[in-house]
Structure 1
Amino acid sequence: MQFDEETLSRLAAIGWRVDAPLPDGTDPAWRAARVVVQHRNGYVLNDGSDEFPAQPAPRFLRRRAAPEDRPAVGDFVLVDAATPAVIHAVLPRRTTLARAAAGERYARQIIATNIDTAFVLMGLDGDFNPRRIERYLLLLAGSGVRPVIVLTKADFLADAAMHAEIAALRAQIPQEVELHAMNVKRAPMVAPLLRHLQRGDTAVLLGSSGAGKSTLTNTLLGHARQATGAVREHDSRGRHTTTYRALITLPSGGCLIDTPGMRELKLTGEEDLAEASFDDVEALALECRFGDCAHGAEPGCAVRAALESGALDPARWDSYRKLRGELGVANESLAAQLERKAGAKVQTRALGKRLVDKYGRR
């Protein structure tokens, strides 16, 4: 079973790209829609014509259901005709952007799905922090999502100071990563972003509170839909004016997902430092005389030589070491979680077998 032409035309308006076969067991009466808002008590969907409330089917709410298998903002889903509609299936995702949830217990938290571009926003004021850009690029590496760095509040710095900040950041990130500095309140300045927001495109906004995500959304829409607020004077950080993720269709034909500011950006353990902005550091480490070089007092250490000559920025090296250590901890947490799940499945099967042996099948 596949979507008919009328359905495909409607879904294309909300970012559908792939005409793939529907899952086995699909009820012909079900219709397709996209998750545009996720609340604690339910969802809001858009079928390309209308928005309507929906609830997840009971199987998504079971304790053993993996959080990443539940519907998320950006998902295309199949729903029935009930009121409110019930989500019965999540269609295959072409991309998934996730982070580790805040807290000590490892859990993978989906930010958004089926997205093509991530606009990483950071203000050219007291919020400017290249190290945080590196973290975002690492989170995006390998996800299939294209990063675009948007430095907002370009009017805060004199031209010479702004160019120096941008040049320093440009030297530290991969050349293929797009970078813009702009005042996002002005429509002519945000025009370069529109090439990523045409019919069938979906982008997500990432950045801390006060970076200008809601302001950019309003400028792209051409009217004030998202609430905006002032930032604190001492650190240029803002309050959470956006409190939940929401997918918005734009006049340009694309879809934009606005997200709350992220206080903590934890790695999932699946990222690759070499695919992010640290390929040069990884290449240096391969030039060391010893394969297990700790980059301390070992002879022939290429990393230490680069630090001493000034070819490698010490702050960048410290950031790399910190992220590498965090990635190792996240990898261990992920492996432990998978091991626990595998053990639980074995125990469940063993219990089931004992019950069948004792009472027979019913």
Structure 2
Amino acid sequence: MSHSTNASSSSASPSAQLDFSRLAPYGWDDDWAAAYADAVADARTAAPDPLPGRVVRVDRGQCDLVTPAGTLRADTEFVVPRDPMKVVCTGDWAVVDADGAPPYVRTLLPRRTAFARSTSSKRSEGQVLAANVDHALIAVSLGAELDLGRIERFLSLAWSSGASPVLVLTKADLVPDTATLAHLTADAETSAPGVQVLPVSAETGEGVDVLAAVLAGGTTALLGQSGAGKSTLANALLGRSAQTVQTIRDRDGKGRHTTTTRNLLPLPAAGGGGTLIDTPGLRGVGLWEAEEGLGQAFAEIEELAARCRFHDCAHDAEPGCAVLAAVEDGTLPERRLVSYRKLLRENVRLAARTDARLRAEQRQVFKQRQALGRHMMERKRGPRRKP
């Protein structure tokens, strides 16, 4: 069952007694208190009895927030930025005018982190899936063949968000033996350098306690494809049936979207507390400003590249390329280099579509390569004879 807040049943008002301890389970700390004070000091955000609040759910034009006066539903129409990356999102901290009729969000506090992807829009827009996240929990099902390329794509976005990625191999109970499980875990670890990889079974409880300890005290965004077992895993971490679970299709191992909205839910205090943002299954995971994340997701390639003879080595056919040498001697899987090149090209293409200056530079490089190509062809053919 999706988490939602009914304003009529649990509304807040500025006259209600304020209790800032209500915000503690949702991550309120001294830094957020200072950011809130700065925002309220701005005349543009001043309002009678302004309240801080954390967004736990977003609907069209409205959101549910936890505030010191209780939980309320507020309009978001006041915050309509031109930049789609700055719209109200689950996990945001906001300043709320609770005196409004209805209440409304005045402004958002500056985000610490934001997990974003590119949309399928031809306008090359980004979409923030979760804000102020400490851990990006990437769920990958062991009930289907591991897609290492998709894992690398998710990790690139996770590192770019500013959050710490954690890779969870769900449905470990479906793996027939421990040797196979160890082999699959090792494959995933090869594609996730510097990332903790945990095989987990929400059905048997295997690994759930370890995972809960890793996530304790922070905000975690649960990400993955439909059918990855996110809702089942969320229920195991929450200790209750907060999310509806549906069966996957036998023919392809895929599931329907059980979760249709992004909901921020408090984790049990007994397990260390924190919050969990469960997200709908993602069919497409387009990169968005992921250059830094790519460098971390492919850290071993970046380290090898520093030893190449040429600082601008493309790792294609250049002499003295340490990356190609590692592929040749088997220390770097060729599949990793192919995946790195693919994601790097995609990120450059997206950046070029959104950055006029970069587009101009790329056109200049293209013209230079054309001129060089013509020059080389003329040298190869030799001087033309006059008739």
Work out whether the TM-score is over 0.5: yes
Map of 2:136 onto structure 1: 118
- Tell me the SS of whatever aligns to 1:160: helix
Cα distance change of structure 1 residues 91 and 148 upon mapping to structure 2, 3 Å threshold? same
> Would you say 1:11 and 2:15 are equivalent positions?
no
CA contact (8 A) 2:156 2:290 kept: no
Answer whether contact 1:196 1:203 (CA < 8 A) is retained: no
1:243 Cα deviation (Å)? 0.8
Alpha-carbon distance between aligned partners in 2 of 1:117 and 1:48, rounded to the nearest angstrom: 25
> Take 2:180 and 2:354, find their aligned partners in 1: how far apart are those partners?
42
Q: Displacement, 1:27? A: 2.2
**Structure 1 residue 6 displacement after superposition:** 5.7
Identity %: 39
Q: For residues 316 and 164 of structure 2, what CA distance do their matches in structure 1 show?
A: 35
Residues 197 and 254, structure 1, Cα contact 8 Å, conserved in 2: yes
What is residue 126 of structure 2 aligned with on the other side?
A: 108
How many angstroms does 1:75 deviate by? 0.8
Q: Does the Cα contact within 8 Å between 1:115 and 1:204 map onto a contact in 2?
A: yes
Q: TM-score, normalised by structure 2?
A: 0.79
What pairs up with 1:41-190 in 2 under 5 angstroms? 41-47=61-67, 50-58=70-78, 60-61=79-80, 65-80=82-97, 81-157=99-175, 158-175=177-194, 177-187=195-205, 189-190=207-208
Decide whether the 8 Å contact of 1:242 with 1:259 is kept in 2: yes
Q: Distance in 2 between matches of 1:296 and 1:183?
A: 42
**Would the aligned equivalents of 1:289 and 1:301 in 2 still touch at CA under 8 Å?**
yes
Aligned to 1:254: 274
Q: Measured at CA, do residues 83 and 185 of structure 1 come closer, stay the same or move farther in structure 2, by a change above 3 Å?
A: farther
* 1:216 is the counterpart of 2:233: yes
- Residue 127 of structure 1 and its aligned partner are, at CA, apart by 5.0
Q: TM-score, normalised by structure 1?
A: 0.84
Kept in 1, the 8 Å contact 2:19–2:69? The answer is no
Counterpart mapping for 1:183-332 below 5 A? 183-187=201-205, 189-199=207-217, 201-252=218-269, 253-272=273-292, 275-332=295-352
The alpha carbon displacement at 1:187 in A equals 4.2
**Corresponding residue of 1:22:** 38
Mean Cα deviation higher: 138-147 or 267-276? 267-276
- Distance in 2, Cα, partners of 1:105 & 1:66: 12
Are residues 46 and 6 of structure 1, via their aligned partners in 2, closer, same or farther at CA, if it must alter by over 3 Å? closer
The structural deviation recorded for 1:278 is 1.0
- Give the Cα separation in 1 of the matches to 2:178 and 2:231: 25
Q: Structure 1 residue 8: deviation in Å?
A: 3.6
The amino acid that maps onto 2:115 is: L
**Contact 1:269–1:328 under 8 Å retained in 2:** no
How many residues align? The count is: 330
- Say if 2:173 and 2:203, in contact at 8 Å, map to a contact too: no
Structure 1: gaps spanning 5 or more residues: 340-362
Map Cα deviations across residues 162-209 of structure 1 (whole Å, 9 max, x no partner).
11111122233223x21110102344631112224445x211101111
2:258 match: secondary structure: coil
**Which deviates more from structure 2 when the two are superposed, residues 6-15 or residues 118-127?**
6-15
Letter of the 2:27 partner, please give it: G
Larger Rg: 2
